[in-house]
Chains A and B, each alone.
Chain A
């Protein structure tokens, strides 16, 4: 079945460092891909999305490119801040069913130190 694999955390970076969180997927058909962020004690917030191959999603300095040839959707940010500390989830949704359900990876904890 469809699945998402994320790099394991925690990822610990100093402020202003470059961030990459790897995400690869397995899916039938052509999924839409998402990155969600979860701050402590809160629900999930959509960070960015891409709905077709070669699309680049971007938001708040984060970006990810839908790579069909490598089945990947890696999250990047050029300069992280302490406020970016959170858990990041990669997710996909495959069209063709009756629902818009999301399939999530296990999450990657990012800790940014001042």
Chain B
């Protein structure tokens, strides 16, 4: 079975720009969560999607938004990028919204300059 695939692996953007990060969930998983991991910190929960609906959100502003598609892949969009948005963005899929059997992707390293 395939794992979680994220693209791109690295990205450099300028402050004020917009970015879209992509995630393909593991086969059979219908739930996708996104986490932000700043350098030297633990991952912070951004939001979760279950069957194409956002069903939970962490302490992140509305300029962080997402989508989940019918094949359960997902996108994370960030508008009006700020320097503090520089981080590793991790996608995790699981078989259900309350299932702890997560599979994490390797992440997208976003640098905002």
Contact = CB atoms under 8 A, between A and B. Distances in A.
Interface of A: 4, 32, 34, 41-46, 49, 89, 91, 93, 95, 97-107
| Residues of B in contact with A, size category | 20 to 34
A104 B42 contact: yes
B40 A106 contact: yes
Contacts of A43: 4, 90, 104-107
Contacts of B104: 43-45
Interface stretch (B12-20, B61-69, B79-87, B92-100): B92-100
A98 B43 contact: no
Contacts of A44: 43, 90, 92, 102, 104
Contact of A46 (B41, B97, B98, B102): B102
Contacts of B28: none
Given A44-B90, A101-B45, A101-B48, A34 B100 contact: yes
Interface string B25-43: 0000001010100001111
B107 to A, nearest CB: 6
